[in-house]
Amino acid sequence: TLQHIFKQIFKASLELQEDDHRKALLVSRKKQADDTVVEINGERVGDGQQRLIAGPCSVESYEQVDAVAAALKNQGVKFLRGGAFKPRTSPYDFQGLGEEGLKILRDVADKHGLAVISEIVNPGDIPMAVNYVDVIQIGARNMQNFELLKAAGSVDTPVLLKRGLSATIEEFMNAAEYILSKGNKNVMLCERGIRTYEKATRNTLDISAVPILKQETHLPVFVDVTHSTGRRDLLLPTAKAALAIGADGVMAEVHPDPAVALSDSAQQMDIDEFNDFMAKLEESGLYKSQKKVVKG
């Protein structure tokens, strides 16, 4: 039992040590009072100006991405998203174009002067991906794929981390901590709805998570209105709520022809709907357009 006592002392000191670590989580406002501002391709996120991220669910072709990118540029939106590696429930669903998809995103973004955000799913792909993307997205299903988090923490490329399907806010912050603890400070969080019993929406947008995350951490916080609601008709009202509650930005899906999209066809906007969405956001007074006004 002496051995037992020593073990307990060892364990207690271990816990004490862990407790110290926790008090000083790198993501915490207690550790850093000032907001983290992430620089992406010359743009700044988290500096008080609210931003939009838009693009198709999946990269399908150069033409498809190019059409969306032109619409983004036209609206003053700087961040182009698109999925090249798609984590799909069924192995028989479209799994994405892979590295070829990343190349398309890069080429199109360069043409229009946009930044590229794309999801990476395999820790081993991170070194390849940073050649193409400006922001590594880590998706909801991989929020606790700790090997992927560690790999993303080992590079400098900014990371957009989405909340897990049913992650608590505390687990979400700890997942971000995995990335920061490996040295990468350029982390942005994204609320994207949580799984509840309610089936009127795909997930339940946990809007309160935004002010909580802004209080508890110094990281920029986005709201993905597409995956949280799963309904095209709710994109505009939830985007307004997100901006009103203090999110640093909103993410939404846009596709030139949603009816034939290889994934998420029911919830993406087409270009006209996107233009209308942007116009109404501006009208509401909640979003300040970054369109350059061309003078005559």
Residues in region 256-295 near its own copies by CB under 8 A: 257, 259-260, 262, 284-286
Q: 28: helix, coil or strand?
A: strand
Could you tell me whether strands 38-40 and 43-45 are parallel, antiparallel, or unpaired per DSSP bridges? antiparallel
- Complex with its own copies: residue 130 or 286, whichever CB lies closer: 286
| CA pair distance 285, 146, nearest whole angstrom | 40
**Contact between 188 and its own copies per CB under 8 A:** no
Q: How far is the CB of 129 from its own copies (least distance, A)?
A: 13
Q: How far is the CB of 167 from its own copies (least distance, A)?
A: 8
- Complex with its own copies: residue 95 or 109, whichever CB lies closer: 95
For residue 116, the surrounding DSSP H or E stretch is strand 115-119
Looking only at residues 23 through 82 of this chain, which bind its own copies when binding is defined by CB under 8 A? none
In the block, tokens 């799984």 appear at 195
Out of 7, 31, 44, 291, the only residue in the binding site for its own copies (CB under 8 A) is: 7
Out of 33, 34, 42, 91, the only residue in the binding site for its own copies (CB under 8 A) is: 91
Q: How far is the CB of 113 from its own copies (least distance, A)?
A: 28
Q: How far is the CB of 232 from its own copies (least distance, A)?
A: 12
Of 85, 114, 117, which Cα lies nearest the Cα of 101?
Answer: 85
100 by Cβ neighbours in 10 Å (0-12 / 13-18 / 19+) ranks as exposed
Choices 47-55, 68-76, 154-162, 189-197 (CB under 8 A): range interacting with its own copies: 189-197
212 by Cβ neighbours in 10 Å (0-12 / 13-18 / 19+) ranks as middle
Q: How far is the CB of 115 from its own copies (least distance, A)?
A: 25
**Contact between 233 and its own copies per CB under 8 A:** yes
Structure tokens at 161: 């981390």
Out of 30, 31, 39, 93, the only residue in the binding site for its own copies (CB under 8 A) is: 93
| CA pair distance 150, 282, nearest whole angstrom | 39
| CA pair distance 268, 131, nearest whole angstrom | 28
CB 80 within 8 A of CB 117: yes
Q: How far is the CB of 295 from its own copies (least distance, A)?
A: 28
CB-based contacts of 130: which residues, under 8 Å, 6+ apart?
A: 136, 155, 157
Out of 34, 42, 89, 294, the only residue in the binding site for its own copies (CB under 8 A) is: 89
Looking only at residues 125 through 154 of this chain, which bind its own copies when binding is defined by CB under 8 A? 141-142, 144-148
Out of 240, 250, 255, 274, the only residue in the binding site for its own copies (CB under 8 A) is: 240
Out of 84, 160, 194, 221, the only residue in the binding site for its own copies (CB under 8 A) is: 194
Q: How far is the CB of 219 from its own copies (least distance, A)?
A: 16
| CA pair distance 62, 82, nearest whole angstrom | 11
Q: How far is the CB of 36 from its own copies (least distance, A)?
A: 18
| CA pair distance 34, 171, nearest whole angstrom | 22
- Complex with its own copies: residue 51 or 240, whichever CB lies closer: 240
9 by Cβ neighbours in 10 Å (0-12 / 13-18 / 19+) ranks as exposed
Choices 9-17, 49-57, 130-138, 268-276 (CB under 8 A): range interacting with its own copies: 9-17
- Complex with its own copies: residue 78 or 202, whichever CB lies closer: 202
